Amino acid sequence: MTATASLSTVTLGTVDGALLASFLLDQKNGATNTMASTVPWTVAITSGPGKISMGGRILSAKSVTESVATTGVDGYQAAGTAKSAYLISDGAAGTTVITFTAGGVLIGTRTISIVGAPTAYVFGTPTKSVIGVGASETASVAITGADALGTTTGAASVYAFSSDTSVATVNATQASTVVITGVKSGSATITVGMLRLSQPQRSQRPWQSRLARSQLRLLRSA
C-alpha cells in the first residue's frame, strides 16, 4: 500500500465533505509480487476525525470494505489491479489514524493531522521589546495562526494596528511579520487580525474583542 503523497498534515481541512487525501492501494505477494487475484480491502479510521471513501466513492463512513454496494466492485479483481481510498473531511480537526487491511491482514497504517482554519494568532519573540525613536528604529515579530484545538497552522498573513500611532506605527500591508517603528517615547499595544483598518468602527470593535488574545504589549520607545 502506498500513499499518493508523502502526507502527514492537511491544512484547512475542516470543510465538511472536502477531499483531504488519497491513497493508492496495490496488493502484491511478498514472494513473487504476483497474485492470482486481489481480495477486498478494508480501510478504517480507528481514531480521530474524518470519513473514508473508496473506489467510486459511493459511501463515506468511518470504515469501508470493498463491495459492490460500497465501492462499485466486489474486491476480487485480476492481479495488479490498483485501488484508491480517500480521506474525506467531516468538518472537524485533529489527528486521524487510518488502517489498511486486506483479507484480514493489516497491511499498513497512516497518521494524518487535520488542521482547521486559524481562530487565534500567536506572536513570536520580538526582535526588541524596547526601541528608540525614528524611522530607523524598528522591531519586528512573526505571527503564526492556531486552530480551535490550538494546533499551529503556520505563518499567518494578517493586518496589524497600533493602539497609539503617535507612539508607534506598524506596516500598513498584510504580512506574516509585523514591523513596528518608534515615533515618540511611550508605550503601545499591537493587535493583529484579518480585517483592514479602513473598515468602519462598527466592524473594528468586534474584531478587537474577538482577537483579544492576539495582542502584544510590545513597544516602549526610549
Domain ranges of the chain: 2-115, 120-221
Lowest mean pLDDT among 24-38, 55-69, 94-108: 24-38
pLDDT at 177: 92
Asked whether the whole model's pTM tops 0.85, one would answer: no
Distances from the Cα of 95 to the Cα of 6, 20, 23, 41, 92, angstroms: 16, 13, 17, 23, 10
Give the H/E segment covering residue 150: none
Q: Residue 183 above 50 pLDDT? A: yes
In this predicted model, which residue has the larger pLDDT, 79 or 101? 101
- Cell numbers 468602527 label which residue? 201
**What single-letter DSSP state applies at residue 108?**
E
Query: CATH says 120-221 is which class?
Result: mainly beta
Task: Report yes or no: 131 and 71 within 8 Å, Cβ to Cβ.
Answer: no
User: Distance between CA 132 and CA 222 in Å, rounded?
Assistant: 5
Q: Where are the alpha helices (DSSP H) in the chain?
A: 201-210
**pLDDT over threshold 70, residue 12:** no
120-221 matches 2-115 in CATH topology:
yes
Q: How confident is the model at residue 157 (pLDDT cuts 50, 70, 90)?
A: confident
More confident residue, 191 or 204: 191
What mean pLDDT is predicted for residues 116-134? 83
Q: Strands, E, within the chain: which ranges?
A: 2-3, 9-11, 19-25, 41-47, 51-54, 63-65, 83-88, 94-102, 105-115, 120-123, 130-131, 138-146, 152-155, 159-162, 168-170, 177-182, 186-193, 215-221
To the question of domain 2-115 being in CATH 3.20.20.120, the answer is no
User: Measured on CA atoms in the order 16, 17, 19, 21, is the torsion positive or negative?
Assistant: positive
Average pLDDT over residues 199-214: 30
Q: Do residues 190 and 216 make contact, with C-beta atoms less than 8 angstroms apart?
A: yes
The pLDDT value given to residue 186:
85
Average pLDDT, the chain: 77
